[in-house]
Chain A
Amino acid sequence: MSKRSTSDLTTLSIAEAGSLMARGEVTSTALTEAFLARIAAVDHKIASFVTLTADKARNAARQADMELSQGVRRGPLHGIPIGLKDIYETEGVLTTGHSHLRADYVPAVDAETVRRLKAGGAVILGKLATHEFANGAMTPDQPFPPARNPWNTAYQPGGSSSGSGAAVAAALCMGAMGSDTGGSIRNPAGFCGTAGIKPTYGLVSRCGIFPLAFSLDTAGPLTWTVEDSALMLDVLAGYDPNDQGSAKAPKVDYGAAAHRPIKGLRIALARSWYEGPTPDMAKGIDEAVRVLREQGAVVEDVVFPDIWDYHICGRVIITTEAHAVHRQDVIERPEKFGYTTRRRFQLGAFITAEQYLRALRFRRKLQLDTRAAMRGYDLIMTANHWGAPEIFEEPQPIFHFLDKASLTMPFNVTGQPALTVCCGFGSDGFPLSFQLAGRPFDEASVFAAGAAYERATPWRLRRPTL
């Protein structure tokens, strides 16, 4: 059986670990113990976990091993150790949203996504740090220490799925669940150098996940490789009658799609969106374009609506809906929020119904205009973020959306699937990354291109040192 070292085990991909377990060369128990040992050794440096469920994880791993020994394999996540952003409700396990407001909240039922992950044999190691209720900045007045970037702990990991990005990059779990309303999966995926997908709006259930903005919220995974995100989505995707936004989409084998050739795939490069990133980022994306062309894809510059249009449209919707979700608490217990979160949730009280409806109408226009600009192309490619993450000790501005347009917001506004792919490292040592977005419910093409790029480049071999 397993003679691999802890680091050998924790840096396996989900696909590799699954193959080894299927062949009887590694057990889920060995994997789980390796991750628990690494969390004990290094997580104090990055504070990615807020609640560890070691005993439950060990039991789940033993169950997975027993089933495997009887020839039962539930799917690609069977026996795979993962983490959950602490806005996913978990039966019998504290679910705080990284907020004093839910500091003692222990749900009685799992979120639908958690139910699917458990039914698929995944081993849940614990709950991960997040920006408060997936929106606020990380401020010192919150119940847990904020997560740090494993590439340099003096910097932010991005957010709001901050712990998810940090834990996956630091090899503290093989995959992690995040949520993305304006970029909260892709932002930490980019800054931490992992893969991460915001699925098409409606593909993955949000039932049992703390909401931020119903019209834009999506749930999805962060993993070390693109193929692993595809494998996690294989388990997560599917209609849920308890989520009003859930779609009845045909079942697709995303894991298989990650091995499709991309010859002839047509990619529209939205270069105008990211004019002015750091020279490293611009170079990284140009190089990624070259690699995708080498793989047979056709990449051409295409003009899309202005990035600021998507940015303000999404921001008005988020600000209004987040206020509606949290209104009672910002009136009755405002002191329980972090000081930044509170102000962000208060702001929506000043937006009129007319302004909100105007943003919803604008969303429809942007969706149609994006579709028209994308005609004849399978994917959109653009930068994932502007440059290095923020320094940890410098407090984020309260209204962070006023200075820079979000590069991730376009695909929340249009509802399209969007994947973050690491494309090298800057001279400052931080990861560079680009986004690939597909037509609605065409995650398969997104995974095919992202995985083809990864296989052709060496970036998955470099990990942060802690």
Chain B
Amino acid sequence: MTEKKPPTLEEFRARAALTGLPLTSEDLEHLHKGYAGLLSLMERIPTRWAWAAEPPHVFRADE
């Protein structure tokens, strides 16, 4: 599901607990701001794609 709204700091903290990263509260504040900024810029990236619009793969079966 594509995220539309940036998470609150509390929501972000809950999510951070699942990442496995040892984070200080200062880390969390910085990361929350960074993630919210990134998410807002990501609105430029289309969310709906045709099946044919597969990402380019580095894997090839003939190599």
Contacts and interface: CB of A to CB of B under 8 A. Distances in A.
Nearest to A306: B44
Given A354-B2, A364-B53, A399 B34 contact: yes
Given A244-B58, A361-B55, A363-B56, A346 B49 contact: no
A313 interface: yes
Nearest to A319: B38
A350 B45 contact: no
Contact of B19 (A342, A350, A357): A350
Given A358-B46, A362-B46, A364-B53, A334 B41 contact: no
Contacts of B1: 354
Contacts of A309: 44-45
A406 to B, nearest CB: 12
A91 to B, nearest CB: 28
A362 B58 CA distance: 16
A343 B34 contact: yes
Contacts of B22: 331, 334
B27 A311 contact: no
A361 B58 contact: no
A318 B46 CA distance: 18
A347 B35 contact: yes
Contacts of B54: 361, 364
Interface in A363-399: 363-365, 398-399
Contacts of B15: 350
Contact of B55 (A214, A352, A363): A363
B21 interface: yes
19 contacts: A214-B58, A245-B58, A312-B38, A312-B42, A312-B45, A343-B27, A346-B21, A347-B38, A349-B21, A350-B12, A350-B35, A358-B2, A359-B42, A361-B46, A363-B56, A364-B55, A399-B33, A399-B37, A402-B34
Given A312-B42, A358-B49, 9 more contacts: A215-B58, A316-B45, A347-B35, A349-B19, A350-B31, A350-B35, A355-B2, A359-B42, A399-B37
